[in-house]
């Protein structure tokens, strides 16, 4: 597996601050022209996974904050959509891996409908990648291996939060966290939560978007057909 931390290396984090001198009533006036880069077919790799890793590495080198943050869109059994930001934690066997509570809203959605969409946006590079595909759980042994690599407090946090459930107050959550720290004082004492683990997204299409001037953006779409990919330029 290619882990996100391996890709990023040990570079210092750079925080980019954006200042907008507009009020909510001026939302329609917020715009900027994308002029920094272009994307031509000659720039593309035959394998969209390798192309993703290239862009991911360039985003990391640009100082993009939370470079592995991605929007995850799911739908429930009735077709109602839901989105949230999750963190990419690895790229393995041409699939994209993230971790969560299986009993959370997203976990329940995935149990009902495995079709998902991911979206990365790196404003520093004026780039976006959309990935559509199907989602499934990774092996429990791999989930536990990653769980054990997490900081002690993050391991406790997985137990402390019944993700997506209603709680009475912040105090309830913090008291539960403190109680679990007393119950499991060391990382070695924390049991692996069977309700928590990883998912992998197996892509069926991957689109690379490069912002261009006058909204004439460059878009290229890879479509998977059996074991190969076809590539087409799309109108912006």
Which among 65, 68, 77, 79 is positioned nearest to 118, based on CA atoms? Answer: 68
Token pair of 233 as six digits = 């330029």
> Which residues on adjacent β-strands are paired with residue 196?
101
End-to-end CA distance of the chain: 34
Token pair of 139 as six digits = 């092996």
Element containing residue 47 per DSSP (H, E)? none
Q: Where are the alpha helices (DSSP H) in 88-139?
A: 105-112
Distance between CA atoms of residues 14 and 212, nearest Å: 25
> Where does residue 42 fall: left (phi above 0), alpha (psi -120 to 50 degrees), or beta otherwise?
alpha
DSSP per-residue string spanning 173-236: HHHHHHHHHHHS-SGGGPPPPTTEEEEEEEEEEEEEEE--GGG--EEEEEEEETTEEEEEEE--
233 is catalytic: no
Question: Residue 85: which residues within 8 A CB-CB, separation 6 or more?
Answer: 69, 70, 71, 72
Catalytic residue among 130, 215, 219, 233: 215
Catalytic residues: 215
């Amino acid at each position: 597996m290619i882990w996100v931390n391996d890709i990023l290396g040990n570079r210092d984090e750079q925080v980019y601050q954006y200042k907008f001198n507009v009020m909510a009533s001026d939302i329609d006036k917020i715009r900027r022209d994308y002029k920094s880069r272009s994307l031509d077919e000659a720039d593309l790799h035959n394998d969209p996974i390798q192309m993703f890793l290239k862009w991911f590495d360039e985003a990391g080198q640009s100082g993009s904050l939370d470079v592995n943050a991605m929007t995850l869109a799911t739908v429930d059994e009735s077709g109602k959509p839901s989105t949230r930001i999750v963190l990419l934690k690895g790229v393995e066997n041409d699939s994209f891996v993230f971790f969560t509570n299986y009993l959370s809203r997203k976990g329940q959605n995935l149990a009902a409908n495995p079709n998902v969409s991911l979206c990365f946006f790196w404003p520093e590079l004026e780039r976006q990648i959309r990935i559509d595909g199907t989602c499934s759980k990774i092996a429990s042994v791999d989930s536990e291996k990653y769980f054990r690599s997490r900081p002690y407090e993050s391991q406790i946090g997985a137990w402390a939060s019944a993700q997506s459930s209603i709680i009475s107050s912040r105090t309830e959550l913090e008291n539960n966290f403190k109680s679990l720290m007393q119950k499991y004082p060391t990382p070695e004492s924390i049991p692996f939560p069977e309700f928590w683990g990883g998912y992998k997204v197996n892509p069926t299409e991957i689109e690379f978007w490069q912002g261009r001037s006058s909204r004439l953006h460059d878009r290229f779409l890879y479509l998977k057909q059996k074991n190969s990919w076809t590539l087409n330029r799309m109108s912006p």
